């Protein structure tokens, strides 16, 4: 280096005894050291100017306390270094930059001047001569050089040029000064080395310092190695992303975080949220801006803001309030269902007259396949609203309705809010299917959570746990569906307006098949009406012999099966036209799956004809009663439910109480056993409407009188002989009509239900209204051949009943609304009886 090459020139420079003094902060200058200095104090600048005007030599003394701005002689170390000012540069801010080179050590003897700058009388400290190079000294020099090499290998930063000079120096004093000047020692340590005159002692001191430095560097490297080992994949990705962002900034690309914040602010403004929601969104956005974009919480907040901004807070569709058009749409999509259609049109009419109204909660209750869900779609189409469907079957977690709290991993809003987002408007038609099959367990009660959703008084501020802000559901038209109303919890059922949809009759299924099912299946199978023609008799044959259901799903499947058979033959080129009639249906669909009950051929003793309600519609059942020698026991067979067993007991008790009027001996009941059987034992049967049928069969068996085969009956009997009302009158009447039975005995309290029966159901039928069991027996039990009153049973024919003005039993066609199927109008004692389940006959 320059200081090594010019060492001889430095020794020849004559140093005056009095020199200007330059106080230095935080630095100790060693001989043969060249370094730049920035000078800003006026005292120091004047000392430099004086030195430059004379011999360019100045004495550099280190301050004991670097924070002292105006040092005095006591604030300076007495030992310093005489330096030569090699260059000087004045800076724009008034400071001066000099390049100084250390010449030799000097000690201040006396400060001869303090104003305007320090002048000091000095004593030059000559470097002691190099000692003899012994093995010990040589080993010390080599050890120090190795220590400096090791320090560099451990991460100590020393310029390569300095390392070259260190390798070539053999003088212990200069080696010590050079290393001390490049180690970045503290001021007091460097000053201590400067004041040491013995070169070997200085080098030993350097060796001690280097030993400690190497220890520190070793520990530091160990810590760094361990820290690097603990950095996982996420941290490495973080560093890479930061580097990528730095590169993007260098290339002038847009800052992603700032762009994301701008996009969210724009979305918040466009969403037109309520004031409370807007404040919450802005609060979360400010939190997001302060977080690192890759942190887990930032991802959670980002997802939350996306949900808030994408919900349709102010987006709604305009209702189509054309009543005639809505009626046309409903008639296009569904056959019959007049009461449901009328209720929907009433809603539209009220909405047209009053814009702000609380949406009704309609609940469609009926067996599967009668069109409850598709009716919801038709309502949405007639209103011009979006349609959203959600199935509640099997839902047991309350969070499915109210959502999960954001503290949980993978939290999401409830399915109500998800459906609103899916619809894209805040007033869709929202269908909640299978509300009667909702569950409850340790995770909560979803039915209770639905109370707020389905209450018009509360749902204007529905609070989802995930959103934690209120959302207005009052504009949503909720429609619920279910198979049974009994399993819906009472408070939830109270929120809804229940509309019952009964099963379709054969006549209705025929019309539905002709208008909807057959055209749909022909189109789906690529067949035209010219290729396949189905006669009405063929459709009726499919309905009665291949399906047994309340709805039309299986009917549609059988029609699709028929279309597939035809499509196969058309594709094979076997035929081009097919005319399906009742005679050749079996050729395509196989043997019939169901056979109707056979009609009784003659009047019999102990066999009465009853009517039952099933999910597939009405059905005729026969109750058989026979007596045998015994001790008065009662046997019931036919897979009867508890209610029917109780009805049989009540019927027997009634007959025993009327034994004298029926001319039955009192000893009969203790000497004979009675067996009541309902055929088709594989089918479970239950319900509160077989009492009069069983009582008639028992009375016939005990009196020996025959029961009219052309009379069917339905109703429950009490111990006093009163006939209680029943439900499902439409289906039961149609069942009797299919069997060719024209006379039907019904409870007198069901007279009001006759007004709801369609005209085609009442046509040709003779309804006998019975208030007591005596009325039933008068119509159903045959008189003896001579017509004389035998004192056993007073028999009155249906014609005679019709002629009696007092009873007014003959009910001819009544104009009025169609039947409201499925509605049970029973006494409180019968309301405890569950509605029949799938596959059961309810009689």
Strand partners, 236: none
Tell me whether residue 440 is exposed, middle or buried, using C-beta atoms within 10 angstroms of its C-beta: 0 to 12, 13 to 18, 19 or more: middle
Match 């349609």 to its residue by tokens: 387
* Residue 98 bridge partners (DSSP): 37, 88
**793: which 2 tokens?**
């049973």
768: nearest Cα among 722, 710, 809 = 809
Query: Which token pair is 408?
Result: 């949980």
Strand partners, 580: 534
Q: Which of 502, 507, 513, 510 is nearest to 756 (CA)?
A: 502
The residues with which 106 forms a beta bridge, in sequence order, are: 80, 124
Residue with tokens 């409830």: 414
Say if residue 727 is exposed, middle or buried (CB neighbours under 10 Å; 0-12, 13-18, 19+): buried
Total length of the chain: 843
For 316, 362, 395, 449, 552, the CA distances from 420, given in Å and listed in that order, are 11, 18, 19, 17, 31
* Residue 150: active-site member: no
Phi, psi of 781 (to 5 degrees): -90, 135
C-alpha–C-alpha distance, residues 534 and 585, integer Å: 9
Q: How far is CA 700 from CA 609, 652, 763, 816, in A?
A: 12, 12, 30, 37
Which segments within 114-251 are labelled E, that is strand? 119-125
If 0-12 CB within 10 Å is exposed, 13-18 middle and 19+ buried, where does residue 219 land?
Answer: exposed
The token pair that represents 765 in the structure block: 């039928």
Question: What is the distance in angstroms between the CA of the first residue and the CA of the last residue of the chain?
Answer: 118
**CA geometry: angle at 364 spanning 359 and 369, to 5°?**
140
CA distance 479 to 802: 45
732, 737, 824, 842: the catalytic one is 732
Which tokens is 585 given? 């249906």
Residue 17: Cβ within 10 Å count:
11
CA count, 13 A, side-chain hemisphere, 387 = 17
Do 100 and 60 touch, CB atoms closer than 8 A?
yes
Taking residue 415's Cβ as centre, other Cβ atoms within 10 Å add up to: 21
Asked if 21 and 121 touch (Cβ cutoff 8 Å), the reply is no
d(CA 71, CA 85): 22
285 phi, psi to nearest 5 deg: -65, -40
Select which of 378, 474, 689, 836 is catalytic. Answer: 689
CA-wise closest residue to 469 among 287, 309, 358, 293 = 309
CA gap 177, 179 in Å, rounded: 6
- Which residues on adjacent β-strands are paired with residue 444? 441
Per-residue H/E/C for 297-354: HHHHHHHHHHHHHHCCCCCCCCCCCCHHHHHHHHHHHCCCCHHHHHHHHHHHHHHHHC
Instruction: Give the C-alpha separation, 462 to 471, whole Å.
Output: 5
Is 344 in contact with 478 (CB distance < 8 Å)? no
| Helix or strand holding residue 479 (H, E) | strand 477-482
Residue 544 is among the residues annotated as catalytic for this protein = no
Residues annotated as catalytic (active site), given as ranges? 689, 732
């Amino acid at each position: 280096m320059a200081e090594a090459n010019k060492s001889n020139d430095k020794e020849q420079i004559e140093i005056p005894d009095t020199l200007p003094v330059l106080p230095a902060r935080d630095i100790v200058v060693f001989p043969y050291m060249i370094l730049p200095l920035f000078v800003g104090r006026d005292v120091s600048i004047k000392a430099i100017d004086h030195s430059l005007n004379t011999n360019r030599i100045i004495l550099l003394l280190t301050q004991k306390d670097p924070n002292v701005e105006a040092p005095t002689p006591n604030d300076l170390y007495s030992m310093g270094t005489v330096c030569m000012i090699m260059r000087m540069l004045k800076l724009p801010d008034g400071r001066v930059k000099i390049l100084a080179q250390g010449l030799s050590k000097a000690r201040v003897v006396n400060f001869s001047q303090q104003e305007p700058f320090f002048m000091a009388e000095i004593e030059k400290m000559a470097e002691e001569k190099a000692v003899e190079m012994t093995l010990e000294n040589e080993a010390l020099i080599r050890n120090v050089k190795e220590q400096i090499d090791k320090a560099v290998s451990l991460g100590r930063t020393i310029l390569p040029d300095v390392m070259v000079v260190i390798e070539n120096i053999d003088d212990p004093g200069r080696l010590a000064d050079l290393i001390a000047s490049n180690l970045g020692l503290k001021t007091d340590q460097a000053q201590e080395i400067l004041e040491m005159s013995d070169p070997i002692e200085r080098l030993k001191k350097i060796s001690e310092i280097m030993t400690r430095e190497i220890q520190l560097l070793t520990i530091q490297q160990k810590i760094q190695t361990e820290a690097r080992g603990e950095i996982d994949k996420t941290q490495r990705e973080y560093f890479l992303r930061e580097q990528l962002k730095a590169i993007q900034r260098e290339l002038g690309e847009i800052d992603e975080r700032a762009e994301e914040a701008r996009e969210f602010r724009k979305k918040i403004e466009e969403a037109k949220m309520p004031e409370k929601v807007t404040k919450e969104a802005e609060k979360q956005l400010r939190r997001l801006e302060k977080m690192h974009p890759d942190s887990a919480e930032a991802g959670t907040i980002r997802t939350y803001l996306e949900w808030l901004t994408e919900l349709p807070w102010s987006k709604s569709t305009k209702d189509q309030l054309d009543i005639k058009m809505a009626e046309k749409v409903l008639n296009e999509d569904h056959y019959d269902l007049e009461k449901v259609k009328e209720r929907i049109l009433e809603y539209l009419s009220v909405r047209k007259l009053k814009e702000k109204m609380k949406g009704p909660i309609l609940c469609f209750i009926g067996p599967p396949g009668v069109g409850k869900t598709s009716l919801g779609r038709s309502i949405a189409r007639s209103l011009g609203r979006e349609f959203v469907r959600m199935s509640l079957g099997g839902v047991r977690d309350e969070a499915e309705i109210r959502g999960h709290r954001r503290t949980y991993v993978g939290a999401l809003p409830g399915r109500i809010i998800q459906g609103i987002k899916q619809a894209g408007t805040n007033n869709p038609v929202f269908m909640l299917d299978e509300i009667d099959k909702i569950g409850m367990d340790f995770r909560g009660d979803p039915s209770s959570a639905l109370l707020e959703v389905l209450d018009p008084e509360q749902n204007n501020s529905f609070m989802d746990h995930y959103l934690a802000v209120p959302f207005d559901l009052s504009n949503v038209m909720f429609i619920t569906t279910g198979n049974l109303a009994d399993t819906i919890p009472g408070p939830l059922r109270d929120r809804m307006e229940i509309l019952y949809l009964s099963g379709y009759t054969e006549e209705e299924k025929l019309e539905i098949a002709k208008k909807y099912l057959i055209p749909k299946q022909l189109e789906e199978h690529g067949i035209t009406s010219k290729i396949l023609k189905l006669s009405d008799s063929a459709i009726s044959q499919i309905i009665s012999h291949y399906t047994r259901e309340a709805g039309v799903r299986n009917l549609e499947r059988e029609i699709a099966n028929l279309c597939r058979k035809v499509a196969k033959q058309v594709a094979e080129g076997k035929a081009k036209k097919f005319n399906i009639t009742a005679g050749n249906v079996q050729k395509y669909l196989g043997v019939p799956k169901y056979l109707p009950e056979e009609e009784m051929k003659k009047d019999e003793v102990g066999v009465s004809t009853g009517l039952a309600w099933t999910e597939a519609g009405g059905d005729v059942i026969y109750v058989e009663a026979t007596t045998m020698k015994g001790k008065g026991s009662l046997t019931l067979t036919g897979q009867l439910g508890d209610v029917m067993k109780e009805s049989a007991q009540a019927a027997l008790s009634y007959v025993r109480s009327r034994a004298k009027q029926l001319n039955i001996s009192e000893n009969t009941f203790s000497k004979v056993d009675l067996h009541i059987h309902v055929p088709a034992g594989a089918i479970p049967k239950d319900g509160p409407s077989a009492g009069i049928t069983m009582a008639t069969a028992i009375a016939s068996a005990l009196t020996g009188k025959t029961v009219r085969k052309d009379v069917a009956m339905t109703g429950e009997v009490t111990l006093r002989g009163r006939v209680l009302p029943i439900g499902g009158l439409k289906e039961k009447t149609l069942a009797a009509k299919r069997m060719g039975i024209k006379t039907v005995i019904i409870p007198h309290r069901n007279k009001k239900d006759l007004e709801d029966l369609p005209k085609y159901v009442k046509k040709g039928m003779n309804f006998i209204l019975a208030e007591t069991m005596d009325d039933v027996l008068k119509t159903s039990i045959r008189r003896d051949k001579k017509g004389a009153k035998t004192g056993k049973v007073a028999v009155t024919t249906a014609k005679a009943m019709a002629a009696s003005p007092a009873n007014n039993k003959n009910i001819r066609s009544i104009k009025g609304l169609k039947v409201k199927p499925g509605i049970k109008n029973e006494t409180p004692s019968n309301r405890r009886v569950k509605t029949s389940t799938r596959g059961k006959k309810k009689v």
